[in-house]
Structure 1
Amino acid sequence: MSNKKHKEIDHEESGSEEEQDSGSERDSDFDSDGNFVGDKELQADFEGRNPEDCDFHGIKQLLRQLFLKTNVDLGALTQIIISQNYVGSVVKQCLDDPVDDDDEDDGSDGVFGVTTVINITKRKQEPAIQQVTDLLIQLAEDNADDRTKVLIKKILSDDSNHVGFVINERILNIPAAISVPLFSSLQSELDKAIKKNMPYTFQYLIWICKTYNTGDEASEILYANQEEKPLADEALASFDVDVSEQVDFSQWEYEGGAMTPGRKVLIFEGKKFNHLVRLLKEEVEGGV
């Protein structure tokens, strides 16, 4: 039996939007995070679904893009995402041939994105969440200013304030427009969960964005997920992390220049979530 709930996502065109060196035929088609960045244009339809057990390996691989070589049990974190499948979505390809709902192998290697939020205060006793918490504190200790260090330690240690950890990951070449229905669905699912007195009312949100830096002080940071670009201005605090030592290639070529992969950690007031969703929608629609 399958309890899939299909969420409508408009037809999208998946193709490279960034010029890459041709290099060798296969190696040059992937960036330092392992994302496909080749110049072949593919056309496909996608849909959002509630995460299921068959999505385990696909979700775990997407989490690896975000966490890289940090000490987080990605398998356990993936299980948490699946266990709360009433909140959040995975992106799957719509297939022309219908798949038998009893087939547990459908789509197990076809997860193109995952968008969800985890209450890391409520789940703080789970080892994987404790690892995420320790990671956030350590990243702040190594990269943030004193004010941000104090803030992140405070919100992660105060059980009276629930903290939501937002996960918004997808294959690089899936267009940003896909994030609009995913976050709209997430808003609706959170509202329903809150009405059922489930612990999804957040005082704070933590969001890690994948970024790329040219090293030029005059240039702006590029976001792997375009829709996240306007969010930093709304943050209570933020800090940047250089992750070049954790990837196979510390730099990759972009329009003739070297790009260094990074992460931007953002902390928001939880009540701003709907405003953040509105901003990312405007960013996507404005870029069309």
Structure 2
Amino acid sequence: MSNKRNKDNVQQDSESEEEHDSGSEKDSDFDSDGNYIGDKELQADFEGRNPEDCDFHGIKQLLRQLFLKSNVDLGALAEIIISQNYIGSVVKQCLDNEQGDDDDDDDGSDGVFGITTIINITKRKDEKCIQQIRELLTTLAEENAIDSTKVLIKKILSDDSSHVGLVINERILNIPAAISAPLFSSLQTELEKAVKKNMPYTFQYLVWICKTYSMGDQATEMLYANQEEQPIANEALCSFDVDVTEQADLSQWDYEGGSMTPFRRVVIFEGSKFNNLVRLIKEEVSV
């Protein structure tokens, strides 16, 4: 299977290397999830590739960023993503041939910077980790959604004739949103090919869990961790927000206007809207 190559550059404000010589200073450049938060200049090329076995640990770590401490077997979920590697992409750093030769012993497990894919949680409803996700969605809706949204979620999860796709769009903090455009274009093409082969990727509904942050106690506006997800909210059938402060390692992040409290926004779309969602994503991140 040929690899997909969707490249983008990452650049951050520069700072001299001398200011980062000590181990303690280097450690402080990374948050508790291992994301780089320093201001030293980094330049790298990234590409989208088909998920492989060696990506297991990297994918699992990214899933942990999204699901936090929820009761979901993330290892089993990572295995599903790899097993359907004809759908979706992992983001990895481009390496030249010389560097690749030097790293023959590296299995690449620490080199996954993002994952974009869709899982059919209706077709796979008997698998334990998918059962856990379905139970999680039901519980979160019961605790946080309005009555009409609760009814819709119960309906789409109980009707096996209507296939539901779980969209997973996760990456580390410093990968730019622009990379989402080629990743979703590739996903769009892969889904079309799969449907032509009569594979179960025609979805009546899509579930999308977005990482968001509330800015201040009285804030009504949510900041999206993934910029490209913000414009698609208007296309939703319904959505609801879940405060994950107690699950997050950092309950609040400081910013110029105060602090940000972490949330998850669960969004439900009609499956027929997917192509339009991809169009909106491309428009949002276009330079």
TM-score (norm 2): 0.90
The answer to whether the 8 A contact 1:33-1:247 is kept is no
SS of equivalent to 2:273: helix
Q: 2:153 corresponds to which residue?
A: 152
Of the structure 1 ranges 268-277 and 28-37, higher mean CA displacement relative to structure 2 is found in 28-37
Gap runs ≥5 in structure 1: 17-23
Per the TM alignment, residue 73 of structure 1 is displaced from its structure 2 partner at its CA by 0.1
**1:15 aligns to what?**
12
User: How far 1:109 sits from its partner (Å)?
Assistant: 0.8
**Structure 2 unaligned regions, length at least 5:** 14-23
Secondary structure, counterpart of 1:246 in structure 2: coil
Superposed CA deviations along residues 247-274 of structure 1, whole A, max 9, x for unmatched, are 1221111125111111100000000000
Distance in structure 1 (CA, Å) of the matches to 2:34 and 2:138: 26
- 1:50 corresponds to which letter in structure 2? N
Q: CA RMSD for the aligned pairs?
A: 1.9
Q: CA deviation at 1:108?
A: 1.5
Question: Which one-letter code corresponds to 1:78 in the other structure?
Answer: A
- Go from structure 1 to structure 2 and tell me whether the alpha carbon gap of 1:83 and 1:14 turns closer, same or farther (over 3 Å shift): farther
Cα offset, 1:31, TM superposition? 5.0
Identity %: 77
Query: Structure 1 residues 27 and 246 mapped into 2: Cα distance closer, same or farther (>3 Å)?
Result: farther
* Separation (CA, whole Å) in 2 of partners of 1:65 and 1:34: 10
**Residue aligned with 1:245, SS:** coil
Q: Secondary structure at the match of 1:108?
A: coil
Alignment-mate amino acid for residue 207 of structure 1 = W
Pick which of 177-186 and 207-216 moved more.
Answer: 207-216
Please give the alpha-carbon distance, in whole angstroms, between the structure 2 residues aligned to 1:105 and 1:75.
20
**1:33 offset after TM fit, Å?**
5.5
Is residue 87 of structure 2 the alignment partner of residue 87 of structure 1?
yes
Please give the residue correspondences for 1:108-127 in structure 2 after superposition, counting only pairs within 5 Å: 108-127=109-128
Residues 7, 48 of structure 2: 8 Å contact kept: no
Cα deviation per residue 1:57-86 (whole Å; 9 max; x = unaligned)? 000000000000000000000000000000
Matched, 1:191 2:188: no
SS in 2 for 1:87: coil
Q: Name the structure 2 match of 1:276.
A: 277
| Residues 140/253 of structure 1: CA separation in 2 closer, same or farther (3 Å cut) | same
State the one-letter code of the partner of 1:6.
Answer: N
Equivalent-residue separation in structure 2 for 1:225 and 1:169 (angstroms): 8
* Structure with larger RCO (C-alpha < 8 A, sep 6+): 1
Residue deviations 1:20-71 (CA, integer Å, cap 9, x gap): xxxx845654457653322222110011100000000000000000000000
Cα distance in 1 for residues equivalent to 2:105 and 2:238: 43
Q: TM-score, with normalisation over the residues of structure 1?
A: 0.90
What is the rounded CA distance, in whole Å, between the counterparts of 1:282 and 1:29 in structure 2?
32
Q: Which residue of 2 aligns with 1:139?
A: 140
Q: State the distance in 1 between where 2:106 and 2:236 align.
A: 41
CA shift, 1:6, in A, is 2.2
- Note the 1:1-288 alignment, pairs <5 A: 3=1, 5-15=2-12, 25=25, 29-30=29-30, 35-97=35-97, 99=100, 105-218=106-219, 220-285=221-286, 288=287
* Aligned amino acid, residue 144 of structure 1: A
Amino acid aligned to 1:173: N
